[in-house]
Structure 1
Amino acid sequence: MGLSKSQFVDVAQVLLSAPKGDIDKVDIKAMVDYLGTVTGILTSTDMNQSDKTETASGVAISPVQAAKCFEETVRTQLFAQGVAQAINDCIRENDAPVRVLYAGTGPYATLLIPLLAVSDNLPVEVTLIDIHQENIDAVHKLINHFNLGHYNIRTHHADATLWHPESSHDRFDIIISETMTALLKREPQVYIFKHLVQFLAPEGVLIPQLVSLKAWLTQGENEAANTELLGEFFCLDKSTSLALSQDDFSCFSSGLTIPDKDCSGYTVKLTTDIRVYGDLVLTEGDCSLNIAFNFSPYDVVLTANETIQFNYVAPSSPDFSIVFPKAQWQYSDYALPKSDDVGRLGLMQLKRSFQRAFMIKRGERFEVLDAEWHAELVIYDMLALNCSDVTAKMFELESFADFESWVEASTGDLSHTKVEAINDAFRRRIY
């Protein structure tokens, strides 16, 4: 059985007061189901039946997809609490009603409706914007359902990157927009703040207050113990938004210097940290907005004291272009293992091939004779391994022992007879 209205209000109270993560996902799902019933926009609907909108500054996700965001427990909890805290702080500091602008409400106005539903006559003036008429209609149903008409909530069906208030003198104490993905890709969060910040009062607050994108060096499987901060390559906050509103795009380009050390075996991880308001912070692992991006080791070049360049490519499909230093190739006089230098599996050529890939990752270059290469392909063919998969694993793994284990797991039974047959075929081809 679903929630009653009074039960919804009770759960909303918990949402707005519980410590981070200390709220049952079942309760969140019950809230979502309740809002879906009232609005007619259900998260169980196939997202392919709900259209997104392409804007000049990124994708406005579909009403159903926006509704599904409510189901991310910690994300919803911290954003809702952040908005509530910001409003309460403004109420304490101002005699006049707190003016709130919420851009990209989705169908549930997730960050505001629960607060208004549990409160009695908050001194607020609310303006809501969404690009989908379906969302605006849904929000009207919630306003009526929770008897919020006394707030005189103004709604606008508009693109938040283009919208202007009715009066050019209108200013807001709080501007809210949660229209983003991890690394500020695809959706128009940056450009919404760029545009709307001009309507923020001098002492006003943006929510989220800060979105920080960072790059890290990571090594091996024990990431927590082998992670080093390279630095922050982009930060979206009030000052950045104000600069962007003046067409100062310098923040869209930055560089981080690779440390003066041997970075062999390292790769790069990118993270998104969000300070919603005050000490309410979302970090890696909290929700989909904080999903880290890990580069494959063979996609990065980490040359000591060189620069990794970050450029925000915008606006129609926002994303970061990331350029690593160019590999400084040099032909090596390093002596590779001989073809008959075998490892635990007893297979010829594997150790030589793996070591060659290992050195290439570090900027060395080797001549490979055609006869050797074609003989090597015979081995992969007899092992029923795809050459591209083998090459990828050689570049991914840092030890030959791990590579042999992968070969063994991928090929199944490697009897002595089969190994000898493969080695004989290799000898015949190369010699």
Structure 2
Amino acid sequence: MANNINPLITQLLACTTAGEAKPVVDELVRQLCEITALDLHPALFLDEHATITPQGKAVSPTTAAQCAEDVQRTRVFMQAVYAAIQQKLQHKDSQGISLLYAGTGPFGLLLIPLLPLLDAARVRVTLLDIHAESLAKLQQVIDYLGVSHFVTHSEQTDACTWQTDQRYDLIISETMRQGLIQEPQVSIFSHLQQFLKDDGWLLPEIIRLDLWLSSGGSPALGASGPPDVHLGRVLQLDKASAIQIGRGDMSCAQGSLWVPDYASRLKHLKLTTFIQVFGDYQLHENQSQLTLPLFERNARVQPNSLLRFHYELGAYPQCVFAYEKMPALTVHSLPDSLEKNVQGIYHLPRLWHKVQLRKQAGTSSDIAQQLADIPASEWLLDRILFDQLGAGLEPALQKCYAAHELAEFEHWLANETVGDMTPEKIQRANQAILHFINNGTSGLDDSLALPLDAQQLAHWDEQGYLVVPGVLSPEESAAVRAAICDELQIREDDPATWYRPAMPMQKIMVQLFAHPALEVARKSDYIRRIFQQLWQRNDVVMATDRVSFNPPETATWQFPGPAMHWDVDLVVPIPFGTQALIYVTDVAENQGAFSCVPGFHKQIDEWLAQQPRGVDPQQQDWSQWSIKPIAAKAGDLIIWHHALPHGSSPNRAQLPRMVQYLNMYR
């Protein structure tokens, strides 16, 4: 293989950005892997060849090589090392300089590829690594580049205990992770500093750790989160502090910081890493894997208190913080439903607080009591809130549970629902919440134009279901189909795309809740009046439900359900309630059609009373029931009494069945 390393190094030293450097670094790493026959990303790699020392983890040769792929780290470190060498050589006039490189890894990347650009008569190099495999592969790189005459000594050793009589102009080591955790950078520098000449330099020159109060660094919060609050510096590793720690004096790595009053959203502690490799060659927060921030989540440090810290050496080096925490969320009383959040929405702070309590259920009797005091009927209030804001119940609860703070959940609600969180939307939600809390009743408006005629109402009363044709136009149905296809990344006219294993489905349910095409039916005055007429009241709430895709069965894909079932607690008496869907494709009886047992709503209470104690009514031999599949056209609404057993059915036709679910409730 022709030696293309030298031109790559020349290019890399001229790069000024990570984007400019990336193709150069990628090619450099590729060639180094080829030289050393190193598989940079082996299957099932667990860093199993790392060495755990009393001073920290020495990563495996493979992991050390992978660090080269961190483009900004590689660019900045190599440019800094080269600049430091040049400056040292200028200061030494005709004299040579000696370099110690500890923790070389298999590539010796921070120094060895630079050597062909230097004068071997003036540069002498000592190489240390704890892994024999790294040094063996490094020798292949040295031989390939023809720079063995630079190397005066190479040794497999632990740099934290190694001894020598020699003194060095430069000591280079990058044996660290962000926050100086886990790896032995501090111990290596505090030991090796004794081998520096009086005017010698450690590279990196400065590694500084700073502590902040933070909203968590969540991209979801965007610009709405308050700015981080800088508490202060907790450690600066440089030549002076390395000497101090090397003498056994840890006072530079411990202390206390005052915590001021701060915004309640700043619940987390953030530890940042700044690296000054040499002069202006620096790595700032998030510019490299080495400078990613570390978070201590939900620290909730007590304002106007002292936070104490120290850097802990040993097998797992790390910064340790001790502080007084604010009272736990569970200590505070559950907010009232009429307490508003920052956007002015009722019940949202209480709902979020309840979810946080449930995450800690079973941890204390106080939590158990708070949860026990919440009336069961409040579940309906939670649902009304989400539906009025246009959030699907399932994803909203999942996000509420996962959010570290209410602000993060608020931001999700504002961005994952259709339309902005307008004053009008908030007002509608608040009115519905107040109506529910005040046990408001709202009979059917006498002036309302009722869409269902006497024949339809008679069918509803007798059979418990209705097919209402044409609630969506062909264009509106097509828009819903397009939304489903986009979500699943399929083509309606290409059966080969209908069965991709990674599609975001639960059985035949597609977890698509928020889309403008779905809002057409939800905002339809005609559909609303149908529900109002059946409920005989005006104050029904439109649910934010999902969609469905049921393709034809094949030899390798069989209908997964849901089969026949009820979605209501089977406790007598069964209350009135509705469920509904809109076909957005034409659906034949054998095309996965919605199926139900007509008329069963009239006998369900008596039937339940006759069931043996301990038997689950949902477990039935449905082949013995009079199940009717309902065929209808695209745009037709099927609405049924929720006391009817119902379900989808296997699609044994040629085309998929697509559906938008919707409902109104009270």
The bucket for the TM-score relative to the shorter chain is 0.7 to 0.9
Determine if contact 1:20/1:78 at 8 Å carries over to the other structure: no
Give the secondary structure class of the aligned counterpart of 1:266: coil
* Map of 1:64 onto structure 2: 62
* Map of 1:397 onto structure 2: 406
Q: Higher helix share goes to which structure?
A: 1
Note closer, same or farther for the CA distance 1:228–1:184 as it changes in structure 2 (3 Å cut): same
Deviations along 1:136-158, one digit per CA (max 9) or x if unpaired, are 11121222222223224310000
* Map of 1:179 onto structure 2: 175
Distance of 2:238 and 2:189 partners within structure 1 = 9
* Map of 2:293 onto structure 1: 292
Determine if contact 2:100/2:172 at 8 Å carries over to the other structure: yes
Deviations along 1:361-415, one digit per CA (max 9) or x if unpaired, are xxxx99737231666578789955898974553x512388557669979994998
Determine if contact 1:181/1:187 at 8 Å carries over to the other structure: yes
1:251 aligns with 2:252: yes
Determine if contact 1:63/1:107 at 8 Å carries over to the other structure: yes
Determine if contact 1:42/1:67 at 8 Å carries over to the other structure: no
Determine if contact 2:206/2:236 at 8 Å carries over to the other structure: yes
Distance of 2:371 and 2:22 partners within structure 1 = 60
User: In the alignment, residue 20 of structure 2 is paired with which amino acid?
Assistant: I
* Map of 1:158 onto structure 2: 157
* Map of 1:81 onto structure 2: 79
Give unpaired runs (5+ residues) of structure 2.
216-220, 358-365, 385-392, 419-510, 515-521, 523-539, 545-566, 576-666
Deviations along 1:273-295, one digit per CA (max 9) or x if unpaired, are 10001111001121100111244
* Map of 1:362 onto structure 2: none
Structure 1 position 207, deviation (Å)? 0.4
Distance of 1:342 and 1:187 partners within structure 2 = 47
| Aligned residue runs from structure 1 range 189-338, under 5 A | 189-219=185-215, 220-222=221-223, 226-259=227-260, 261-267=261-267, 268-296=269-297, 299-328=298-327, 336-338=335-337
Q: Which has the higher contact order (CA 8 A, sep 6+)?
A: 1
Distance of 2:48 and 2:117 partners within structure 1 = 30
Give the secondary structure class of the aligned counterpart of 2:20: coil
* Map of 2:617 onto structure 1: none
Determine if contact 1:349/1:376 at 8 Å carries over to the other structure: no
Deviates more, 1:73-82 or 1:316-325: 316-325
State, as a whole percentage, how many aligned pairs show the same letter: 28
Structure 1 position 356, deviation (Å)? 7.5
Structure 1 position 31, deviation (Å)? 1.1
1:36 aligns with 2:38: no
Q: Which has the larger radius of gyration?
A: 2
Deviations along 1:37-74, one digit per CA (max 9) or x if unpaired, are 22222324344476111111111111111111112121
Note closer, same or farther for the CA distance 1:206–1:302 as it changes in structure 2 (3 Å cut): same
Distance of 2:415 and 2:19 partners within structure 1 = 41
Of 53, 56, 68, the match for 1:55: 53
Determine if contact 1:311/1:321 at 8 Å carries over to the other structure: yes
Deviations along 1:143-190, one digit per CA (max 9) or x if unpaired, are 22222232243100001111112x3xx211111100111001111111
Cα RMSD, aligned residues only: 3.9
Number of residues of Structure 1 aligned to a counterpart in Structure 2:
404
Determine if contact 1:218/1:228 at 8 Å carries over to the other structure: yes
Determine if contact 1:269/1:293 at 8 Å carries over to the other structure: yes
Give the secondary structure class of the aligned counterpart of 2:83: helix
Give unpaired runs (5+ residues) of structure 1.
360-364
Determine if contact 1:269/1:292 at 8 Å carries over to the other structure: yes
Distance of 2:235 and 2:281 partners within structure 1 = 20
